[in-house]
Amino acid sequence: MAEFLQFAFSGLTVGAVYALVALGFTIIYNASDVVNFAQGEFVMIGGMATVFLTALGVPIPVAVVLAILGAVGVGLLLHRLAIEPARGASSVTLIIITIGASIFLRGLAQVVFDKQFHTLAAFSGDTPIVVGGASILPQSFWVMGGAVVIVVLLWAFFNHTLIGKAVLATSANRLAAKLVGINTGMIMSLAFALSAAIGAVAGVLVTPITLTSYDVGTLLALKGFAAAMLGGMGHPLGAVVGGLVVGLLEAFGAGYLSSDYKDAIAFVVILLTLFVLPTGLFGRASVERV
């Protein structure tokens, strides 16, 4: 039982990060139909910028805020300089543009930061908390708690604010949203800023546990994308559930089956799920017009 709990907690911790990355995918996809493979780079920027700012003597809270603002700036530039000029391009072309952006940002991080692994001091110390025989790092609670707070805030934003509803309206039908006077261009910028911020927060929270380096983004983007598809593309709740499921599958797969193949286990389950439910767990079947 202790073993089971241990795996469950580590799965939920990584899963929370995947969920946040998947949420970032979903928000941008809903607003602009773009699958943003540079999503993992926001996580990297959050972690790396915080590490380097604190090394310069900036107090942690300030460093975190600056890192998030930096990621938001990158997100806005990405939208303005790379996505906006390619408006109307095919979805494969847009995917390649975001992958180009991801390679570019990684290259930039290599020059601006360095190629080493870095860590941050855990926010509330390193003394593990023992729950039912399983020991959990306090930082895990920060990650899981942070994810819960972000999900609740997003829910409130989308359901109880005018701008949030405008985002939802834009994702439901862009033309109709424009017709009722919503500035859809602004909404798209907002979506990029929002998912950059979410990614950066995830990066800051998880760095004390998993370390960070200039190239952590690629794998996170792949896992986040897979999680978003598992949940059903464009479905925020699906993204969160998908992320947690991928995290848990990895942890249990690594614990009970083979740590070499933990990534494989997650992907096999995703493949099998898609064979049964071709539009993910929460996705709806789409109707194609001829």
Partner 1 sequence: MSALLNHRLAVPAVLIVFVALLPLVLPSSFYLRIATLVWISAFAVIGLNLLMGYAGQVSLGHAGFFGIGAYAAAVLPAQLGVPGILAVVIGAIVSALIAYLVGRPILRLKGHYLAVATLGFGILVAMVINNEAWVTGGPDGMTVAALGIKKLLKSAFGLKVKTAELWYWIAGAMLVVGAWVAVNLVDSPTGRALRAVHDSEIAARVAGIDVARMKLVVFVVSAVYAALAGSALALFNGFITPDTAGFLHSIELVTMVVLGGMGSILGSVVGAAVLVVLPQLLTMFHDYEHLLLGLLMMVFMIFLRAGIVPGLRSLIAGRGAA
Binding site for partner 1 (CB under 8 A): 35, 82, 85-86, 89-93, 95-97, 99-108, 110-111, 218, 222, 225-226, 229, 233, 260-261, 263-264, 267-268, 270-271, 274-275, 278-280, 286, 288, 290
Q: Which is nearer to partner 1, 58 or 95 (CB)?
A: 95
Q: Which is nearer to partner 1, 78 or 251 (CB)?
A: 78
Q: Which is nearer to partner 1, 122 or 222 (CB)?
A: 222
Q: How far is the CB of 226 from partner 1 (least distance, A)?
A: 6
The answer to whether the CB of 230 falls within 8 A of the CB of 270 is: yes
The answer to whether the CB of 204 falls within 8 A of the CB of 65 is: no
C-alpha distances out from residue 59 to 45, 55, 94, 108, 142, Å: 17, 9, 38, 24, 19
Question: DSSP letter string over 135-156?
Answer: EE-HHHHHHHHHHHHHHHHHHH
Burial 255-289 (b: 16+ CB within 10 A, else e): beeeeeebbebbbebbeebbeeeebbbbbeeeeee
Q: Which is nearer to partner 1, 117 or 261 (CB)?
A: 261
**How many whole angstroms separate alpha carbon 237 and alpha carbon 18?**
13
Q: How far is the CB of 117 from partner 1 (least distance, A)?
A: 18
Compute, in degrees rounded to 10, the torsion defined by CA atoms 182, 183, 188, 190: -90
Q: Which two tokens stand for residue 140?
A: 């895990």
Q: How far is the CB of 28 from partner 1 (least distance, A)?
A: 13
**How many whole angstroms separate alpha carbon 128 and alpha carbon 97?**
43
Q: How far is the CB of 269 from partner 1 (least distance, A)?
A: 10
**How many whole angstroms separate alpha carbon 242 and alpha carbon 23?**
10
The answer to whether the CB of 228 falls within 8 A of the CB of 34 is: no
Q: How far is the CB of 124 from partner 1 (least distance, A)?
A: 35
Q: Which is nearer to partner 1, 93 or 124 (CB)?
A: 93
Q: How far is the CB of 183 from partner 1 (least distance, A)?
A: 23
Q: How far is the CB of 210 from partner 1 (least distance, A)?
A: 19
List the helix and strand counts (H, then E) for the chain. 11, 2
Q: Which is nearer to partner 1, 61 or 85 (CB)?
A: 85
Q: Which is nearer to partner 1, 59 or 85 (CB)?
A: 85
Give phi and psi for 118, each to the nearest 5.
Answer: -135, 160
**How many whole angstroms separate alpha carbon 244 and alpha carbon 249?**
8
Q: How far is the CB of 206 from partner 1 (least distance, A)?
A: 21
Q: Which is nearer to partner 1, 9 or 18 (CB)?
A: 18
